[in-house]
A and B are shown apart, each in its own frame.
Chain A
Amino acid sequence: NAGVTQTPKFRVLKTGQSMTLLCAQDMNHEYMYWYRQDPGMGLRLIHYSVGEGTTAKGEVPDGYNVSRLKKQNFLLGLESAAPSQTSVYFCASSWSGTPYEQYFGPGTRLTVT
């Protein structure tokens, strides 16, 4: 049981480049989430999904897109990276019966220069 995995672990992008972060979970959870963590800001929700084929905006969605084509995967895309998107990105998942008991992945550290 790997839990929640994220790829890649580290990435450096130049301004304007695009990339996709992949999150996978093997717990058959219905709900999945993408957060970003910045120093002094705690964790902020970017987008979330309550099921395959559905996504919704969180607290800080601008500049990001997501897709949930398969129940176990949740992709986060940056179409045109900006330095303000330098952050650590965490994916999480939860069972629908206890949505707030979220299981987090190890994170992706992204630097945009």
Chain B
Amino acid sequence: GQQLNQSPQSMFIQEGEDVSMNCTSSSIFNTWLWYKQDPGEGPVLLIALYKAGELTSNGRLTAQFGITRKDSFLNISASIPSDVGIYFCAGPGGSNYKLTFGKGTLLTVNP
């Protein structure tokens, strides 16, 4: 099946710092998605990318669909305490409708 590798596994940063995380796939994807999960909640979609090279922003978040179609990047600028959570990348799971998720990047922001 599809494999997604996220890095780093965890990050500890100071409020106000910028954050970068990435996700790589063992195969080519035609869609990349980034979700965030707050403690005790379900994942929430942040950004969806549908075209290689695409750069999309959602507030302080920016995500890019890698040119090789095997990777994607998420950047958070000027982090704030409510950015704390687990960030998951996801992509098509080998057939229609199914998503494969990475194992997540745990972000901690120190105020």
Contacts and interface: CB of A to CB of B under 8 A. Distances in A.
B73 interface: no
Given A42-B88, A101-B48, A106 B101 contact: no
B101 A103 contact: no
Contact of B90 (A40, A48, A50, A100): A100
Interface stretch (B13-21, B52-60, B61-69, B91-99): B91-99
Q: What's the interface size class on B, roughly?
A: 20 to 34
A106 B96 contact: no
B1 interface: yes
Contact of A102 (B40, B41, B96, B99): B99
Q: What's the interface size class on A, roughly?
A: 20 to 34
Contact of B33 (A58, A100, A103): A100
Given A48-B98, A100-B31, A100-B90, A41 B103 contact: yes
B85 interface: no
A38 B102 CA distance: 13
Interface of A: 4, 31, 33, 40-45, 48, 50, 58-59, 90, 92, 94, 98-107
Interface of B: 1, 31, 33, 40-45, 48, 88, 90-93, 96-99, 101-104
